[in-house]
């Protein structure tokens, strides 16, 4: 399998090179040149496989320059008893006769990003070796909260790597901040940024396109790489759980072979939902992909009007991992639905960079509406969904998942679609305990409570056990409490133990 850029016809490379480089030299994203089909029999056969075996099947289609032994090793290093609290890795929870939750938060950091970031370091170190390179990979991450911690956990103490993580100082939850500030490992660094997520992300992008600085690092034996969701090595593992959910539902008799299902995806950078679209391209019977946003509803507007416009107010919400105005992975989707038109894709992306907006052709808009349905909800409705779902089903959702549930309800009501629908549950409710508890028990109940009192309280109300990694935060030393201006990110990287 070859990979090329979304923005020109000048490159093609192996998966190892795509994973090693992260971003294409022309500023585009790497995409596979084709999507090898899974037949209905292939999908049926997945019923009786473990998550790890399903992962090997999917990854093998795309990482053709890896041996099956290498893929198996990466998979078993990533998805195991130490890293995930459930044997099935991503269990499906049945809410009622139509709606299901795909729980993606049983990993170490309690959010879905573990699924990709537990395996990425292994894919990356193999990729560097495979391209006959002996440099140390320096991973730079801009995070709205969950990516940072998941990347730190994934890369911590992995030989041949260093990782620096930047987060918007007022844009993450207390638990998220504490998770990052207490990170172990001899190859990690973390800092807050004065600004929002897009400032942090733009700062990282700037470093990635700073030729002089890259050259200097190369001379010192380092190669810059990205663990953000633009890296192909993060996207491809996310395709697996769509197949896994389908196989589990098939096995449980919830659907029949070939029956289409909807997936509702709480969306920020458009990575998770793009993986669902790729699953559909591979042959998974997917009906609609429902794109759920919070008040930062730039994607909802785009799906409904064909105009992507980031020139709007930025809101800090109770679902901070979705507080994003530039959804980087949308570029891959545009590229694909424009029939791999790199000239047009580049034109749109240039216009986004220059004017903060672009508007797609009627053709592309129509194609997009066939595949996607977009909706959003604000913090108030998020809280109502959490409370209603708890009262009706005794099921506790985190705020991001609740945005998904709210938009799912809107979609099913407005379209009267009877298709079985799976909501991607992207974080543990314990990670966003304050917002979840004020929704269920009222604001008074959470007033003046410490993070750890809140964890206990949520455990009592929900009957769920507090995830070990969160309970342990209480006793961990804060190693990284600082913050810097966005202009100083390069200096921070340069000075980081290199």
Ligand X SMILES: *Cc1c(COP(=O)(O)O)cnc(C)c1O
Residues counted in the chain: 498
- By CB under 6 A, tell whether 271 contacts ligand X: yes
Per-residue contact flags (x/-) with ligand X for residues 80 to 119, judged by CB under 6 A:
-------------------------------x-x------
Q: How far is the CB of 37 from ligand X (least distance, A)?
A: 25
Q: Please give the structure tokens belonging to residue 145.
A: 């909260």
Closest distance of CB 215 from ligand X, Å: 31
Phi, psi torsion values for 28, nearest 5 degrees: -80, 180
**Residue (15 or 143) nearer to ligand X, CB:** 143
Nearest distance in Å: CB 234, ligand X? 9
Name the nearest CA neighbour of 333 among 374, 379, 281: 281
Q: 351, 357 in Cβ contact below 8 A?
A: yes
Cβ at position 204, least distance to ligand X in Å: 15
Nearer to ligand X, 130 or 310 (CB): 310
The yes or no reply on residue 21 touching ligand X (CB under 6 A) is no
Segment near ligand X (CB under 6 A); pick from 32-40, 49-57, 263-271, 282-290 = 263-271
Among 28, 266, 306, 467, binds ligand X (CB under 6 A): 266
Question: Any idea of the CA torsion for 105, 380, 465, 83, to the nearest 10 degrees?
Answer: 20
Which pair of tokens denotes residue 200?
A: 């942090």
**268 part of the interface to ligand X, by CB under 6 A:** yes
Give the nearer residue to ligand X in terms of CB position, either 182 or 269.
Answer: 269
Indicate the helix (H) or strand (E) that contains 358: strand 357-359
Minimum CB distance to ligand X, residue 406 (Å): 14
Question: What does the DSSP 8-state code read for residue 329?
Answer: T
Whichever of 63 and 116 has its CB closer to ligand X, that residue is 116
Q: Which stretch binds ligand X (CB under 6 A): 14-22, 132-140, 161-169, 264-272?
A: 264-272
Residues of span 132-171 touching ligand X by CB under 6 A: 146
Q: Which positions from 312 through 351 interact with ligand X, judged by CB under 6 A?
A: 321-322
Sign of torsion over alpha carbons 483, 489, 495, 498: positive
Contact 221, 261 (CB under 8 A): no
Residue 262 phi/psi, 5-degree rounding, is -95, 150
Please tell me what DSSP assigns to residue 172: S
Query: How is residue 362 annotated by DSSP?
Result: H
Q: What six digits make up the tokens of 375? A: 């909706």
Where does this chain touch ligand X (CB under 6 A) — which range of 81-89, 151-159, 262-270, 307-315? Answer: 262-270
Cβ neighbours of residue 256 closer than 8 Å, sequence gap 6 or more: 250
Q: Which residues bind ligand X (CB under 6 A)?
A: 111, 113, 146, 229, 266-272, 321-322, 400, 426-427
């Amino acid at each position: 399998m070859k990979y090329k850029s979304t923005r020109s016809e000048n490159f093609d490379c192996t998966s190892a090179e795509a994973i090693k480089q992260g971003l294409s030299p022309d500023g585009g994203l790497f995409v596979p040149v084709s999507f090898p089909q899974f037949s209905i029999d292939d999908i049926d056969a997945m019923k009786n496989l473990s998550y790890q075996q399903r992962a090997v099947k999917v990854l093998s289609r795309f990482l053709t320059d890896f041996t099956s032994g290498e893929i198996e090793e990466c998979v078993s290093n990533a998805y195991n008893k130490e890293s995930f609290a459930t044997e099935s890795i991503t269990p499906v929870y049945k809410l009622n006769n139509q709606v299901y939750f795909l729980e993606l938060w049983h990993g170490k950091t309690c959010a879905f990003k573990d699924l990709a970031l537990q395996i990425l370091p292994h894919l990356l170190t193999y990729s560097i070796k495979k391209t006959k390179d002996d440099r140390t990979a320096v991973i730079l991450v801009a995070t709205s909260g969950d990516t940072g911690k998941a990347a730190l956990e994934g890369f911590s103490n992995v030989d041949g790597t260093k990782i620096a993580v930047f987060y918007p100082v007022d844009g993450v939850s207390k638990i998220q901040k504490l998770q990052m500030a207490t990170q172990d490992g001899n190859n990690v660094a973390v800092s807050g940024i004065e600004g929002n997520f897009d400032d942090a992300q733009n700062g990282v992008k700037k470093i990635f396109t700073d030729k002089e600085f890259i050259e200097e690092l190369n001379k010192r034996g380092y190669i810059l790489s990205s663990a953000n969701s633009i890296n192909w090595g993060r996207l491809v593992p996310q395709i697996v759980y769509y197949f896994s959910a389908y196989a589990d539902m098939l096995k449980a008799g919830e659907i029949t072979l070939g029956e289409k299902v909807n997936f509702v995806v709480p969306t920020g950078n458009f990575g998770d939902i793009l993986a669902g679209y790729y699953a559909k391209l591979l042959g998974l019977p997917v009906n609609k992909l429902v794109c759920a946003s919070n008040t930062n509803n730039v994607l909802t507007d785009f799906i409904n009007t064909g105009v992507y416009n980031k020139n709007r107010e930025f809101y800090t919400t109770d679902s901070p991992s979705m507080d994003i105005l530039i959804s980087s992975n949308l570029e891959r989707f545009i590229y694909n639905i424009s029939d791999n038109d790199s000239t047009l894709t580049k034109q749109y992306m240039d216009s986004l960079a220059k004017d903060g907006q672009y508007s797609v052709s009627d053709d592309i808009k129509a194609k997009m509406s066939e595949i996607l349905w977009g909706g959003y909800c604000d913090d108030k409705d998020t809280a109502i969904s959490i409370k209603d779902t708890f009262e009706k089903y005794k099921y506790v959702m985190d705020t991001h998942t609740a945005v998904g549930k709210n938009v799912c309800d809107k979609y099913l009501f407005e379209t009267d679609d009877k298709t079985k629908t799976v909501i991607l549950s992207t974080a543990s409710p314990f990670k966003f305990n304050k917002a979840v508890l004020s929704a269920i028990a009222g604001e008074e109940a959470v007033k003046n409570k410490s993070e750890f009192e809140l964890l206990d309280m949520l455990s009592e109300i929900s009957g769920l056990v507090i995830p070990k990694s969160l309970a342990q935060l209480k006793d961990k030393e804060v190693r990284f409490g600082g913050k810097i201006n966005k202009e100083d990110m390069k200096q921070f990287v340069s000075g980081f133990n290199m």
